[in-house]
Chains A and B, each alone.
Chain A
């Protein structure tokens, strides 16, 4: 955060300097919104239907894999419908109306939030990989969850279908309230699926942690939506992004005149951002995501790597025009993303649980996406979402296959050389493909998408520090990624089963060697392997998207850019173009001059005198390969068993630092001290106030009649004459009273 002030001072300059190309900020935002065909509702309806069917199966006590096939079919048809939606899309965004949902009129204002869907290129882009991955991962889960066939199996796929439905609402909704509905829906499904093994205390704690941490972010989002309505008077994207007020603000922001934009409008993106930080696990709200790995691996792959956690990126991309109107929002997004990327990468380097390494890697890569959005390249951020979705889902599913096959073993010190174990070839290849993508090996999809972000950080004025940090983090990423690969899949064969091993398959001979105690790894079956193959192919193919799909008319260079530029996330940073010019015609004094000012050449070409976009190909390739080489030398070269490697003595030289990184820099402990413990103390105080004061008053009213009864009880003596005497005495007193009154002449 050190440089935020510096950067915020510059953001006005940035936008002020933007030449007229920035007019394209919203030039492609459609003013004409068509009405779409109704069959698009299939994409929403089918996952919901499969979810309900799974509930029905649970009620009738289905003990087969029917829920899985139902979900695969539902998600698959939804995917085909999405493809059809993509192919039939003619460039004009349209809405599809399902039914009227909330329509409140007050005076001349109306809050309209219909259950309808807004389809533009960003929606299509997102839905393609959401439904596609959901189909593949449901297929994977059909085998992965097969130990739990029965009610739990139905429960899993019921929540799975509900998740796809919620995600579709989030992405496709045509107003912010629909987005919020989906946002909460995916949060709920995430909670249900993290806590799937509800008999495990860790899983329950992780589910609660995820839910509670997300609530903090959700509060921000809810307040942001509220402010949006208060200020702009609408929640519908189609109206909001064509609102003359908003367009006026963006014009003001372009000239750096942020004083002209009311503070309330500038607060909206900051509140949205808090929501995005919660859902997308950014610092300081990232702590829930690593713990969420307690859920089944398909859940980790789909929800906590590929789709749900990118909802924050989607939110910012979708409301990018709002973010442009704030002086502080985008710089904060950029810096928080960068810090998260670095922090999570350092933690990932020191973990031993391979699923946790992947979880921290997800946090780190999400940081890259946020940094991309923050440094004015929504294209880079959104492209990285897609490539990351494929390769991280692939990596998680490979880890899941290992975990499944080795009885829950995830410790990289207890697994080695799986490459040479029979039946694990496809997993090894899948893992390798995922790793080279994540590490940013040249010509992989991860390499291109990451470079887009880093290069843009160097190009955009004032953010080169972000670029350097991200570049350094890319090296760390390559190291920790290949640390996993070299430890688990390469080297001598050795494996120890995890604690889910029960010695149930007795025979002990003829296995591949390396196992202990008669343990047989249980190689993945056709469903898992076919999904891994498909995802491997997709991960590689995603790099092709960097070369195809450019549109000359829209001045876009590749597929993701085309998709982003014709949506509301459209922002065409002027700096990349001018940097190219500056590099090509470096002697031309007018190279960096735009209509609204001169762009300082020093800012544009900060590294090695070339166009950052081009230079980045070489620099980040070198960084990635250095990281991999380091991992090879420290974790594979000369390693003779699973537990020990060359890194161990080196780690000792760093003193307490590796230990601190392994313990996640004690962030959880810090939060426990700062937030959890005080809250617990306060709740204990309130518990005792409740117990003593509130319960005391209630009990006092209970005791009062008893005390009174205790006083008057002796009067019921059991002696008949005693009662008679009382009666006679009472009568006497009464008579005396009457007598006295009569004597005094009171009654006449």
Chain B
């Protein structure tokens, strides 16, 4: 049986944090973000939820990258963070503009934008 990277980094005494743990945390973050996005009506909160989903996905990428001893996953996460930063600037500006129109942050206020 091959020795994983995690086993090499940590002594055996400590309980082993396996791939599954990382993925579990990642999935939990993603699902929390998704639930938040689907249930909350405040646009800022919804935006934060999307950030949470981002980070969940990013964590999974890092975990896999580490697992395979490849830098791709981590590189990708750096890009994701950049995009997320730009997107945050955009999204918050949009939220401010939308707020100025309707004096509310509720997403329900923009219901008339239907087909």
A residues in contact (CB < 8 Å) with B: 713-721, 724-725, 728
Contact = CB atoms under 8 A, between A and B. Distances in A.
B115 A719 contact: no
Contacts of A724: 37-38
Contacts of A714: 115
Contacts of B63: none
23 contacts: A713-B115, A714-B115, A715-B115, A716-B114, A717-B111, A717-B114, A718-B110, A718-B112, A718-B114, A718-B115, A719-B107, A719-B108, A719-B111, A720-B107, A720-B110, A721-B37, A721-B38, A721-B39, A721-B107, A724-B37, A724-B38, A728-B34, A728-B38
Interface string B83-115: 000000000000000000000000110111111
A714 B115 CA distance: 6
A715 B113 CA distance: 12
Contact of A716 (B39, B41, B107, B115): B115
Contacts of A728: 34, 38
B59 interface: no
Contacts of A720: 46, 107, 110
A719 B114 CA distance: 8
A716 B115 CA distance: 5
A718 B113 CA distance: 5
A724 B34 CA distance: 9
Interface in B22-41: 34, 37-39, 41
User: Considering residues B107, B110, B112, B115, which has the most beta carbons from chain A within 10 angstroms of its beta carbon?
Assistant: B115
Contacts of A713: 115
B51 to A, nearest CB: 15
B29 to A, nearest CB: 15
> Is the contact region of chain B dominated by helix, strand, or loop, or is it mixed?
helix
A321 B103 CA distance: 102
A286 B36 CA distance: 93
Interface residues of chain A: helix, strand, loop or mixed (majority): helix
A725 B46 CA distance: 13
Contacts of B39: 721
A48 to B, nearest CB: 67
- What is the size category of the interface that chain B forms with chain A? 10 to 19
Contacts of B113: 718
Interface of B: 34, 37-39, 41, 46, 107-108, 110-115
Contacts of A725: 38
A716 B113 CA distance: 8
Nearest to B35: A728
A718 B111 contact: yes
A732 to B, nearest CB: 10
A715 B110 CA distance: 16
B7 to A, nearest CB: 26
A589 to B, nearest CB: 111
Contacts of B110: 718, 720
B20 to A, nearest CB: 16
A29 B5 CA distance: 117
Given A721-B37, A721-B38, 5 more contacts: A713-B115, A716-B115, A717-B114, A719-B108, A720-B46
Contacts of B115: 713-718
Contacts of B34: 728
Contacts of A717: 111, 114-115
Nearest to B107: A720
Contacts of B38: 721, 724-725, 728
B59 to A, nearest CB: 18
A728 B111 CA distance: 20
Contacts of B37: 721, 724
Contacts of B111: 717-719
B64 to A, nearest CB: 16
Nearest to B108: A719
Give me the 7 closest cross-chain CB pairs, A-B, nearest first. A718-B114, A716-B115, A720-B107, A713-B115, A718-B111, A718-B113, A717-B114
B109 to A, nearest CB: 10
A410 to B, nearest CB: 72
A586 to B, nearest CB: 109
Nearest to A715: B115
Nearest to B37: A724
A716 B110 CA distance: 12
Contacts of A715: 115
A717 B39 CA distance: 17
Nearest to B41: A721
A731 to B, nearest CB: 9
B42 to A, nearest CB: 11
A729 to B, nearest CB: 10
Nearest to B112: A718
Nearest to B115: A716
A717 B108 CA distance: 11
A720 B111 CA distance: 8
A714 to B, nearest CB: 7
A724 B33 CA distance: 12
A716 B112 CA distance: 10
A728 B49 CA distance: 14
Contacts of A716: 114-115
B60 to A, nearest CB: 14
A718 B114 CA distance: 4
B97 to A, nearest CB: 16
